[in-house]
Structure 1
């Protein structure tokens, strides 16, 4: 019995097919599907092209369009998935919507690179319209220069200090750790733990938070101990079991998600919050006020996604943009401390 011949892949639909069905030129198809404002196309012709494209299932080739334009419509955000907590993930989702209304697509890029220049080279190959970094370790002057030479003008980053070659929004994570430690010291705590998550990508945020807490402790009689932990029940359960031998009376738990996990582990281990240990989180998520006891947290006053989207658009189109207000922090005191 003869074997069936292998199925042939369906033929790729091209703009020439759309043009043929719509009875127009390929240039007209390009003008319509790329929404080229410099070329006027009648509404009836536009409707014929869109109908033909939908009927044939035609999708424009993004790489070809990028080649013609010199860049894509992508806004690239370097980020490890583990680094996107609930607060930032919701904020990024709103940013997606704001940029989508402006014709841009956000892409999270979680590649692993040995240095910033190697990372920038990989990003430049995609010819994004902009690169928006959540942490300053994504940009060095050399990396920014490489991206600019590739024609990428929209370079935006949260950073503790101005970054050469990039539009910078002031955001010092040390302020978060400092606010937590200052509160705990004021509440009479002197042996403070700072959780250091071991998930990839979080050290860029956790290390300056630790430094901020240590800065406050250095001006008091308090001590700060870095405690490594992973975002798993087993990891926090093991930490709770050995907590009494650590001799610590307070913990800044990196963020609300780690804090909630740790508080449940403390409860299971018979450790009382705040009697035995005061707990402070960060991000001021809804779950903070729902904990028992309610969780003290650091609220991050981030710029609105609309402000970021407008700033990116200005950088892409003009190479410059108005300054964005710095990110500041506010401690929300609840019963856990």
Structure 2
């Protein structure tokens, strides 16, 4: 500002008022335009650190995650970044790769940069162990929960997702529907099974334990579990797979047995992992988790906290993406 003032023959105060758009002081529009033009010509840039000290606000949001390279990380980051940008905030991202030491150090570095709040996002819907330092600023968890006091979360509605997937198979006329589920004890596994069971009960169908198989979220496991279901004496005509990768394995199990999709057996996935779901043949009908929407909600919840509002957990519903496998 001193350089600009000397260059223009004006006081430093006049330059400051012009650049900061002050309307409570009398500066002619010609002078204001002259200052702005000179600042652009000379490459003037405000000192963000000094401004944040003066305003007691940095406009920075920390984002800590183990998922930047996963198929789902992009959605959460995109949503959070778009919401932050609309509020003139900058997102600082720390990728922990699931390493607790990197995570703890990353949080400390973000706090050193005086972030106004933290978004903590996980790839898997789980109970997370948070670094103790997160208590220093408002924090919103995405796709996870924590037993730490005061932590609030934005989560996908796993029950409604499982319900929608099963209802789609029921609507197509299927009455024997197998569930290729995630391992027991995971929030996603429990919720998706609960939605599956609710849909069957509403349709007046009995729950058959033999039609439910559980394992890890891989194509190999999907193949193994679907094969066991399709080899039953009275096999299911519809399969609800708890992930799109598991559905990919189920496709192979069905085709090895000479079964056509969807004519002989229908398949519904979960996640809408587009590099899988959109390119299977036939393309996979699946439930899309609201990852971008969760990222947006997390930033909105931080803003509400900053405004002094009471913020509670939020649950967002995904949507059924129709393709050709039912």
TM-score tier (shorter) = 0.5 to 0.7
Q: Which residue is equivalent to 1:47?
A: 33
Structure 1 residues 246 and 16 mapped into 2: Cα distance closer, same or farther (>3 Å)?
Answer: farther
Equivalent residues in 2 for 1:188-337, closer than 5 Å: 188-190=176-178, 192-194=180-182, 207-213=186-192, 220-221=208-209, 222-229=211-218, 239=220, 243=224, 247-249=228-230, 250=239, 252=241, 254-255=243-244, 258=245, 272-274=260-262, 275=264, 278-283=267-272, 292-300=281-289, 311-316=301-306, 318-320=307-309, 326-331=315-320, 335-337=324-326
CA-based RMSD of the aligned residues comes to 4.9
**5+ unaligned residues in a row in structure 1: which ranges?**
1-14, 148-152, 196-205, 230-235
Count of aligned positions:
294
Q: Cα deviations across residues 107-164 of structure 1 (Å, max 9, x unaligned)?
A: 33323551675553232122123323345866859444222xxxxx5x3334666973
TM-score, normalization by structure 2: 0.63
Alignment partner, residue 84 of structure 2:
99
SS at match of 2:37: helix
CA distance in 2, matches of 1:19, 1:177: 65
Residues 192, 242 of structure 1: CA spacing in aligned structure 2 closer, same or farther, 3 A cutoff? closer
Q: Which structure 2 residue ranges, 5 or more long, are not aligned? A: 198-206, 231-238
1:192 match: secondary structure:
strand
Query: Counterparts of 1:109 and 1:225 in 2: how far apart (Å)?
Result: 33
Match for 2:136 among 146, 151, 173? Answer: 146
**TM-score between both structures, scaled by the size of structure 1:** 0.61
CA-CA distance at 1:327 after TM superposition? 0.8
Match of 2:236 in 1: none
What's the CA shift for 1:97? 4.3
Q: Secondary structure at the match of 1:82?
A: coil
Partner secondary structure for residue 69 of structure 2? helix
Distance 1:139 1:60, change over 3 A: farther
Query: Residue 331 and residue 68 in structure 1: after superposition, are their counterparts in 2 closer, same or farther (change >3 A)?
Result: same
> Does residue 1:75 correspond to 2:61, yes or no?
yes
Quick check: 1:157 aligned with 2:136? no
Match status 1:126 vs 2:105:
no
* 1:268/1:191 CA distance change after superposition, 3 Å: closer
Decide whether aligned partners of structure 1 residues 138 and 303 sit closer, same or farther in structure 2, where only a CA change above 3 A counts. Answer: same
1:167–1:265 Cα change, 3 Å:
same
Which is bigger in relative contact order (C-alpha 8 A, separation at least 6)? 2
Q: Aligned to 1:127, what secondary structure does the other structure show?
A: coil
Distance 1:242 1:304 in 2: 31
Contact 1:193–1:224 (CA<8 Å) still a contact in 2?
Answer: yes
- Between 1:246-255 and 1:67-76, the stretch displaced more is 246-255
